Structure 1
């Protein structure tokens, strides 16, 4: 029992295990009960499930407050809870950009809507592991070299300014070196095989049964690669808010957990959030700048957490409202979807030099 109360990365082990239990329980309930069978999710169901996940994330923040307050006192508990909510809102807003990229990936590989949810679920499980590794490494570096926070801050300011002036550049899936390497060194089928990532098929040359990946597996790989790209911005942003590893990780994962539910509601109207990226750019600039403001203008005092939360929430809300107003009546862009989910995949032939099974 003493092990459960051992402090690991600033938080008792039992609290970490409780969070892991919540994530595992939600995932099992989602996959084993709500979506036991593959089916297309409607916008109404997507919004309800997304609201459920957001409610869980907000309630978890209340639990964080009571537990951190009991362990560290009222002031520290309040500060860490505000940091959790600030980080959660930033991650949630950044996930809207993820929706656009994920939609493009599914379209590129012509993945039917009824199989997308399962791919998203396994993709998010991969993200949980990858984010954990990145945050763990980041926490170790920050603890050993505190000056790295200035590097994170400068990087966020630079990234935010770059986002303000950069044009829309869709993800180049065809020329992605990792996916091309996988496609050329693994057997890949031209057709989907329901929800399966790997299947046994007959080799064209030998006639023997061999194990091959499906287009759904390639889509899953690209989704995780895309998240690594997004994590380069989001993880430093959260470390700029707080260095508490538990808050950094839980806020990331809580925001990501609801992404698969929110995806189906936003995918049909992601073009309506065109101007949100500019609000996110300002958020990144603000989060990075406040570290320099706190250390060099406030004499080392912490930037007021509630003010930070207010500015972050205000910028994101403003970006959403402005986007919806400016894009009212805009038509959804049509992305090339290939020949159809069951037809030979032109994209796979391009990726594998015509060697797809």
Structure 2
């Protein structure tokens, strides 16, 4: 029997944090660290490069874990909460894909090789989880205490959509002008020469940030900006902090594997940006009109999936551009 709506059992929280602890340990490369200590191998010699096949396996694993947890929510909280979780998960996952283009751009600009990228992403995902939980609690509290904030959040999603429509494609990241890099330089000097897998390096007794730390700073700031869009979007589906937190965290956990899976295929997602614009406009409208007209969560889930499937199919069907010589 489902328990009363809005009440989450202690057991479900314990299961969530147990899964979170194990998956974070795996994602941070705990197995490889143990192997390094047993074989007495240096970290630079045992940098693990995730293959496409391995990335596909881990992506399926993360999605399966989210599906299993959705089943637990169904038996503990009922069908409505399960649908809210799935919708929030799909929404956060789709919005996160756009974030991966930034990851690729950052690593390319700083010349960080494939074997060191996983280290930056692992640390970045861990800090992103902590940041998301804090922002979700603040956002849910604002909506509970100040109902008019729903119009602010809805307007924010509309503003983001318009900005994406007007925004030109970024070809490169200008490090000297980047806000994250400028903030980092206020705390320590930056050395843009790669020093293995180290985030910090001592030069003449002074600690310098390496390209890995610069990449991490840019990724963290970028994720903060993306969170300002994705969290209000999920809060439009449900204001239950448990559902918002768990759906967000499960979506973030698989990002590293998903990045290595689609890293070489990102140029094929021709219609991702238009799809995300439509998605944000829909969610923003849902929030703004919520006082006058309520869109059912099932309807939202169907619309989200229709948009995502349309984007994927249209992108795959589009023929790649060829040059005149070809």
Shift of 1:154: 2.7
Indicate conservation of the 8 Å contact 2:106/2:173, yes or no.
no
Which one is further off, 97-106 or 302-311?
302-311
Q: 1:224 aligns with which of 212, 220, 226?
A: 220
Residue deviations 1:83-108 (CA, integer Å, cap 9, x gap): 11111111111111111000001111
The alignment covers a number of residue pairs equal to 305
Q: Secondary structure at the match of 2:284?
A: helix
Structure 1 residues 334-345: aligned runs within 5 Å: none
The answer on 1:15 being equivalent to 2:12 is yes
Q: Secondary structure at the match of 1:274?
A: coil
Indicate conservation of the 8 Å contact 2:184/2:217, yes or no.
no
Shift of 1:316: 0.9
Structure 1 residues 2-81: aligned runs within 5 Å: 10-30=7-27, 31-33=29-31, 37-68=46-77, 77-81=78-82
Shift of 1:170: 5.1
Which one is further off, 99-108 or 265-274?
265-274
Shift of 1:19: 1.5
Indicate conservation of the 8 Å contact 2:105/2:173, yes or no.
no
Residue deviations 1:311-335 (CA, integer Å, cap 9, x gap): 1100011011112222x3347xxxx
Structure 1 residues 150-189: aligned runs within 5 Å: 150-169=151-170, 172-174=173-175, 175-183=177-185, 185-189=187-191
* CA–CA distance in structure 2, aligned partners of residues 313 and 275 of structure 1: 15
Q: What is the TM-score of this pair, normalised by structure 1?
A: 0.79
- 1:120/1:317 CA distance change after superposition, 3 Å: same
Shift of 1:13: 4.2
The answer on 1:312 being equivalent to 2:304 is yes
RMSD: 2.2
Q: Could you say which residue in structure 2 is the equivalent of 1:147?
A: 148
Q: What is the TM-score of this pair, normalised by structure 2?
A: 0.86
Indicate conservation of the 8 Å contact 2:195/2:210, yes or no.
yes
Indicate conservation of the 8 Å contact 2:275/2:311, yes or no.
yes
Shift of 1:161: 4.1
Runs of at least 5 residues in structure 1 that lack an aligned partner in the other structure: 1-6, 69-76, 204-208, 332-357
- 1:183/1:14 CA distance change after superposition, 3 Å: same
Residue deviations 1:199-234 (CA, integer Å, cap 9, x gap): 333x1xxxxx33332211111111111101111110
Shift of 1:115: 0.7
Residue deviations 1:2-57 (CA, integer Å, cap 9, x gap): xxxxx9x9534443333222111012123112686412222121111111111111
- 1:47/1:242 CA distance change after superposition, 3 Å: same
Indicate conservation of the 8 Å contact 1:156/1:237, yes or no.
yes
Indicate conservation of the 8 Å contact 1:239/1:248, yes or no.
yes
* CA–CA distance in structure 2, aligned partners of residues 34 and 46 of structure 1: 16
Larger-Rg structure? 1
The answer on 1:251 being equivalent to 2:252 is no
Q: Could you say which residue in structure 1 is the equivalent of 2:207?
A: 211
Shift of 1:110: 0.8
Shift of 1:150: 2.3
Indicate conservation of the 8 Å contact 2:109/2:172, yes or no.
no
- 1:163/1:213 CA distance change after superposition, 3 Å: closer
